[in-house]
Structure 1
Amino acid sequence: MKEEILKKAQKLDAEDTLASFRSKFYFPQKNGGDCIYLCGNSLGLQPNTTSQYVNAELEKWQKHGVEGHFTGAKPWVSYHKNSKSVLAKILGAKEDEVVAMNNLTTNLHLAMASFYRPNGKRTKILIERGAFPSDFYAVHSRIKVSGQDPDKNLIELEPTDGSDYLSTAEITAKIEELSDELALVMFPGVQYYTGQLFDIDAITKAAHKVGAYAGFDLAHAAGNVPMQLHDTNVDFAVWCTYKYLNSGPGGVGGLFIHEKHGQNIEMPRLSGWWGHDSESRFKMKNQINPIPTVDGWQLSNVNILSHASHLASLDIFDQAGIENLRAKSIKLTDFMESVINSSEVLTKNIKVLTPGSSNERGAQLSLYLINHGKSVFEFLLDNGAILDWREPNVIRVAPVPLYNSFTDVVNFVSILEKAIINEG
């Protein structure tokens, strides 16, 4: 790697106003030092305050037992409310439109029970070909349990021009084509494999124009890119929190329901007692009185330890600001692409699958190994870089602005060059 590129990275790090946030996270150790961790799109690093947040609830449990539900600054009975403010900022939503609960797929099933109700000829769901399995299986089964044939009603859209990713024009044209047969458009915010950032606004408008609902899986978008779910009129969205939101393996999921639906207590849903009037909840009278917000989709009480871990990371996000993180993310990912493109070795052996425009991607580059296989990935692991491998021959690289540096990028690309050269 050229010396001037390293000097540029060091200069960018010195100018980075978010550089101090790196010290708020634990890095896995490899070869006697911090690894180059570029895998936040799969599992975010642990904030060094996580144990403090979790231990506070363990101590409350130890000291107060069941009374912990009603004691202290954060009573367990209303614990889910503690994350609403920051989640609303990250997602561009109102606090009454977001709630942390369950996991992503459970929340997706709950949302589709409300938003996929086939009627007459309006029976189809549109997703992208190669959707993440959590989406595919949930959508497929939802169609089936609704009495419809998935082979006819699950529409998987793929690029028609040989491109690696779908254009907004292709998506909206397909929506228009399906027209009054379309019940739901279910797309990711960021496509997990290519790293493409979809145009949520355009997709939502196209869906509504033909009378369909628009829902989004934000697993790879939440905490990665700013969104405006309320203003863009998205009907629902789901996400996990263990990727860019750093809440730990299997961490609590999230649900967004636009207020126009949340306020409609007649909307069909799969109900649980936690989604009904909290004032009368413990009177045990089993009266149907849904909460007129997203909280009306809650099933049961919060997993406190998982949610405590979630709060540790959200407090860091609140300090950093999602817009500031996005600004650094663009610089960081653009820098990585430029460093890769400056290497003759890499340009001959790697194809970047991710869109080249900053407006069409988040904190990710998906690198397709044209002439090599998984041994390159294994070389990277052995030499202190932790990344994600996807068949066939793709290394997903996520430079996360909260804790990755420009020097991380240079060091990673240097190891990648060595791996390619060693392979011959």
Structure 2
Amino acid sequence: MTVLARETPGHMLRRRLRSPTAWRDTVDLFAILTAASLPWSTSLAGIFNALMLLCVVPFLDFGAFLQSLKRPICAAPIALVLLALVGTLWSDAAWGARFYAVNPTVKLLVLPVLLYHFERSPRSQWVFVAFLVSCALLSVMSWLVAFYPNLALKTDPMERGIFVKNYIDQSQEFALCAVALAYPIVMLLREKSYWFAGLLTALALTFFINMAFVVVSRTALVTIPIMFGVFALLHLRWRSIALISAALLVGAVLAWQASPYLRHTAERFSDDYTRYMEKGEPTSAGLRLEFWRKSLGFFAEAPIKGHGTGSTRGLFERVATPAGQYQASAEVIGNPHNQTLNVAVQWGVIGIAILYAIWILHLRLFRGDGLANWIGLLVVVQNVFTSLFNSHLFDFHEGWMYVIGVGVAGGMVIRAQQVEAKMREAGS
């Protein structure tokens, strides 16, 4: 009788290390952990992302990967990173400032890797599930720290309901999750899966209620209606649009009447603008207007190739009024709080063309129907419109939301397109 030898742990480990499937599973795991940790910790998200990239290398088909980089959806982000590197050559900033300004663009190099990997992975949806569940747990924690502020890791008394990070990041997450759930809810209702649709509706409402009564950014207040409008135009009939719009309007009016915080947040728009225009005070809205006005002037000075990577702070220092004055014109910043102007000041029209090419190419990638197309489209739309008020493609949190969202959803879309093409070839 032959006795089968029991496999030792060492043999099992060596077998898994030689298995491409095992490495792909590990990449999936670290991608899921990156998405789950992003709402909570920049450090953990960075660590998991680095481990994910390391696990891609051992069994990477370099020929196929290099071929994938030729696609415009991959080439455009790479071009922006290369422009940032080349832009250091004509900048007047210190070399440390130049390379520091390159850093926010580097995350875009991960996008082609995610597109390549999730074009081949069947577990893409788990990345989005992990992010949704993580944000739902953060919503619960937000309510807890709203009632028990001592639980918060943040010490800023102005940021009520914030456990970690800040109200802008949290609002971006909650807005994305709440609006993204609209598609599966509508699909489930059409399939008459009312119980599951009701569960997802309740989850979406928890995000909206948190933003209405705990904390919300003004950027989210502006962009949420735009995202809902995109969904309605793409996926609803006109009668449904009218009914849902009426329901949303009623809900907004009720929230406005019931939430003093929401009214205060909205009313600060006009108050900030008035104080800036009449007294030049450095209010939130006033500072943005000041940054935009000066940035347009810097762009006009070097419209083709800009002032170079990392030049923004030095330009603001040059035109700032004397320090010590309580005036918006005295503020010095390295980020004009507008993605287009951030790029324009440093790299001129060349940079703007590449930036807009990235957004347009990624919008075109998600033209089809299906959940992956909807999530990818929503991620791009949110980034485009919130970048009117911030440099969200370069910011850590929102920038990684874009890279992960477009990378994973884009991989799913490309995979589905390839399957559909093979089916057409087989049927012809």
Normalising to structure 2: TM-score of the pair?
0.30
TM-score by length of 1: 0.30
Which of 1 and 2 has greater Rg?
A: 2
RCO higher in structure (CA 8 A, sep ≥6): 1
Q: Which has the higher helix share?
A: 2
> Greater strand share, 1 or 2?
1
